Amino acid sequence: MVFGSFTPEAFAFGFFTILTLGGAYGVAMNTNLVRGAVWLIVSLFGVAGFLALLSAGFLAAVQVLVYIGAIGILFTFAVMLTRSMTNVNQRFNQQWWISLLVSALLFILLIVGVIIPVWGNQSPADMSPTIANTTDLGVALVTGGGFVLPFEVASLLLTAAIIGAILIAREDEE
Amino acid sequence: MESRSTPNQFLRLGITLVILAVIGGGLIALLNGITGQACLNNLSSCLTNNGWNPGIAGFVPILLGVLGVATFPLLVTILLIWVERKFAARIQDRIGPNRVGPFGLIQPLADVLKLLTKEDITPTGADKPIYNLAPPFMVASVLLIWAVVPFTPYHYGVDLEIGAIYFVAVASIATLAVIMGGWASNNKYALLGAFRTVALLVSYEIPLAMALLVPVLLAGSMSMVGIVEAQGAMWFMFMAPIATLLFFISSQAEVGRAPFDLIEAESELIAGFNIEYSGMKFAMFFAGEFMHVFTNGVLMAILFTGGWWGPFAYEAPLLGFFYLMIKSSFWYFISLWVRNSLPRFRVDQVMNLNWKILVPISILNLIMMALMLRIALGFEQSAGIVVTDFFSALPRTGFLLIGNVVVLVVVWLWLGRQGRQQRQLEEMNRFSVTATGD
């Protein structure tokens, strides 16, 4: 990204960055759980925008479908059941320093591992001349040389998770 | 007025229809003549030739297109409100709106005026930002679908490679709108309505997506433009009738209309999630719903009945648009018919219908379609058939229809056995009750 020239892509990138980071800030700082969930959806939408900018349209649509359409709504749904909990103002446990430590560590890790190697005025890496489309993704997921094994393992894992969820939620039959 | 269908009325209706047809035909002919001119065919190059900045000249047609695509469904909705009320009235043996304008055609405008002048109420304890955001989200989720609708062979908002999945993704935003409205209203009925919505909409998205995958499979493309173009030889409705039916049923449920109108069951929840809304905010929810019904008709037309395909659609694009609207109206009318004739399901019935019947059928149907398509492709390759017209598409259609029949027979036998078992169980219970209790 060249910041000297103000391209539409740069504008869109800035917009989605504001959405993602602002949404994340809203999630962290809001005491109202439903509003927090809505901010989370805003943040996830920003990520979908990044994916669309990277010409990964399929992933962007899946991001909206899965994270906003399913996970965001389930969050809101679960939170709605607890109206009495939606305005929690006090801290109800003393474990804040653990999360502080973990997030600080993660932040340092990301800075060292991702940001520092690409920081500075580097010439942008050459982009691959072929743009992979959804067909390529689908083919890669089902060919033996591609990712068929991880794909199947993931689906097996999800099936197991669904069955587990049903078992836990199921009422004991007399 | 005792009888509601006097010969005089029929005559009047007939004359009106003829006049409308003449005006419509004339408009199509006129516009086709105009589109021959360069400025309407290629606006941006025309503007550049007239000395505009190329950047702005490229932007203007896009802006006009976005405005057109976004405004069209809203305008159609105004008419649809009238159509819907009139149609419901006829089914219920009433006349319907007939006071404002000819046949009551101006009634929706009067309704809009009424809604605009109503007091805008925000309940105490409502979560204001979320409460106000919900109605626009509802409308937006439907309007966004129109971005990928191919109106004619040459006119569409955008040809997304992932059109089908885009549709499912933006349609799921409607659930979010309902949930936000229901929660932020600070009302128990609204909250209950929102709960039901999540259960209903999230569940029916599964058979909807599964049925949607069948045309994607048959066309070999997720783009809406590609799906329509693949139906030149044969409509997918004839290749995959079960998928058509599944998509229709689940899209009816997605709108939350009878028989799936538990979301706003008037007798139980008063109005459901939108109970606290008034004025234009309430109207936005309803405009969203009306628009969604017609949008579903458009999607049915695109996915299963060939979209803009028809005689001379390539030569006269507006004719293609006309075909699309005719087909959409057909599905729209069936949707209204179902809505006005079936009673409401109970919550448990809705869930049973989805999880125990529609989801298994849709999975079975998808697997069967994939298998039969593979067999059909193999057969076509060995027989040297290239699908170009109606007759060359017949073998493929035959194979797929066999697959459909197999699925149908399996489902028939399975449902029959289940029904018999349930009946036996009930009879046994009744028997035991009469034997032991007195």
- Could A73 and B198 be called an inter-chain contact, meaning their C-beta atoms sit closer than 8 Å? yes
Q: Are A23 and A46 in contact (CB under 8 A)?
A: yes
Q: A64 touching B, CB under 8 A? A: yes
User: In which element (H, E) is residue A68 found?
Assistant: none
pLDDT of residue A129: 67
User: Average of pLDDT values for B372-382?
Assistant: 85
CB-neighbour burial class of residue B170 (10 A; exposed 0-12, middle 13-18, buried 19+): buried
CA B364, B367, B371, B376: dihedral to nearest 10 degrees? Answer: 80
Q: Are B223 and B140 in contact (CB under 8 A)?
A: no
B10 vs A154 pLDDT, higher one: A154
- Could B173 and A32 be called an inter-chain contact, meaning their C-beta atoms sit closer than 8 Å? no
Q: B179 touching A, CB under 8 A? A: yes
Cα three-residue angle B139-B168-A51, rounded to 5 degrees: 100
The Cα of A12 is separated from the nearest Cα of chain B by a number of Å equal to: 17
Q: B195 touching A, CB under 8 A? A: yes
User: Average of pLDDT values for B365-380?
Assistant: 87
In the structure, what pLDDT confidence band is assigned to residue B219 with cuts at 50, 70 and 90? confident
User: Average of pLDDT values for B209-222?
Assistant: 88
Q: Is the pLDDT at B390 greater than 80, yes or no?
A: no
CA B395, B401, B406, B410: dihedral to nearest 10 degrees? Answer: 170
Greatest mean pLDDT range, B20-29, B46-55, B261-270, B366-375: B366-375
Can you give the pLDDT of all 174 residues of chain A as single tens digits?
Answer: 444 556 777 888 889 999 999 999 988 887 777 788 888 888 998 998 888 888 777 888 888 888 888 888 888 777 777 655 556 666 667 788 898 999 999 999 988 888 787 776 666 666 666 666 777 888 888 887 778 888 889 999 999 998 998 888 877 665
User: Average of pLDDT values for B403-420?
Assistant: 89
Domain-wise residue ranges, chain A: 1-89, 130-174
Contacts of B129 in chain A (CB under 8 A): 35
User: Average of pLDDT values for B190-209?
Assistant: 84
Contacts of B175 in chain A (CB under 8 A): 69, 73
- Could A38 and B180 be called an inter-chain contact, meaning their C-beta atoms sit closer than 8 Å? yes
Q: A35 touching B, CB under 8 A? A: yes
Of B165, B202, B222, the CB nearest to A73: B202
Mutate to test the interface with A, among B62, B132, B145, B175 (most CBs of A within 10 A): B175
Q: B198 touching A, CB under 8 A? A: yes
Tokens of B71: 């405004």
Q: B148 touching A, CB under 8 A? A: no
Distance CA A145, CA B282 (A): 54
pLDDT tens digit string along B105-149?
888 888 888 888 887 778 887 778 888 888 888 888 888 888 888
Which of A29-43, B120-134, B231-245, B421-435 bottoms out in mean pLDDT, i.e. has the lowest?
B421-435
Q: Are A55 and A70 in contact (CB under 8 A)?
A: no
User: Average of pLDDT values for B56-66?
Assistant: 72
pLDDT of residue B33: 47
At B187, is the secondary structure helix, strand, or coil?
coil
In CATH, what is the architecture of A1-89?
Answer: Up-down Bundle (1.20)
pLDDT tens digit string along B338-347?
888 888 888 8
- Could A58 and B161 be called an inter-chain contact, meaning their C-beta atoms sit closer than 8 Å? yes
pLDDT of residue A1: 44
Distance CA B422, CA B434 (A): 18
User: Average of pLDDT values for B306-313?
Assistant: 80
DSSP A131-164: PP-HHHHHHHHHSTTTTHHHHHHHHHHHHHHHHH
Q: A38 touching B, CB under 8 A? A: yes
pLDDT of residue B3: 45
**In chain B, whose CA is at the least distance from the CA of A73?**
B176
The Cα of A143 is separated from the nearest Cα of chain B by a number of Å equal to: 17
Q: A73 touching B, CB under 8 A? A: yes
Q: B175 touching A, CB under 8 A? A: yes
pLDDT of residue B38: 43
ipTM above threshold 0.90: no
Which neighbouring-strand residues pair with B156? B150
Sequence-separated contacts (24+) of A37-41 with Cβ below 8 Å = A37/A72, A37/A75, A37/A76, A37/A79, A38/A76, A38/B130, A38/B180, A40/A72, A40/A75, A41/A67, A41/A68, A41/A72, A41/B176
**In chain A, whose CA is at the least distance from the CA of B183?**
A80
Contacts A–B by Cβ distance under 8 A: 69
Tokens of B277: 């809304």
Of B307, B3, B344, B309, the closest CA to residue B163 belongs to: B307
Of B130, B162, B170, the CB nearest to A58: B162
The Cα of A38 is separated from the nearest Cα of chain B by a number of Å equal to: 8
Distance CA B379, CA B386 (A): 11
